[in-house]
Amino acid sequence: MLEPWLKFTGICSVVMAIIVFCVIFGGYSSFVRSQNRIEASKSLLTDACQKRLDIVPELVEIIKTSRIKTSIPSINQTAQKAAIILKQVIAHESAVENALIKDFELSQTQLTFQIKQTLSQLEALVDKNSSQYVSSQQFSALKKQVDTTQDNLFVIQKRYNKEVAYFNLRTKVFPGFLIAKLFGFNKIHYTSISKDLFLPAQKTFAPVTS
């Protein structure tokens, strides 16, 4: 018959083994869920970027009826470049490297500038209130689409950065860094995007004051 202390030691060993297993399994599952949330946020972000690109042809059609046709090649070229880089970002099934994030930010910034500049010029024509310029109703509908998409980008960007920051932090603090090292999560680093890349429509398309 086993001594009482041996029984106690055996029970404690089993309990400790269960606790360690739960901590390790729970930590691993948490990292996987975190990665899934990042990928979901990334998907929402790229979808919103694509929706903004889909608006460009409509914008070009309005430009064709206006007196600012010279801006068509510029906005088309910028949109094409943004579309190419966006496809590269979408194709990445793992963490997007820093260099591609920078290219993504630059292409989206340039697209935002082109859209803002074009909207400003079109709005000036609408204000002239002449049928030979731009339909006020048509412009308002397009502007609403652009604003809605821009606001969505702002919200989704914040969510993406929040999830990225959470994952990266967990790989560095206890006990997360132990689990990360055990399963290789410490070798994965997600890059957040600039918090100023996508601002709300009200700020993004606000008229420049001198």
* Angstrom distance (rounded) from CA 190 to CA 13: 38
Is residue 116 domain-resident? yes
CA distances from residue 178 to 75, 168, 174 in whole angstroms, order as listed: 49, 13, 7
Is residue 153 domain-resident? yes
Q: Average pLDDT in the 121-146 region? A: 78
Q: Average pLDDT in the 198-209 region? A: 86
Is residue 49 domain-resident? yes
Domain extent, residue 40, equals 4-204
Is residue 209 domain-resident? no
Contact 126, 133 (CB under 8 A): yes
Is residue 210 domain-resident? no
For the chain, the domain total comes to: 1
Is the model's pLDDT at 208 over the cut of 90? no
Q: Average pLDDT in the 91-117 region? A: 93
pLDDT in tens, 22-75: 778 778 999 999 999 999 999 999 999 999 999 999 988 888 877 776 678 889
Is residue 53 domain-resident? yes
Amino acid present at 196: D
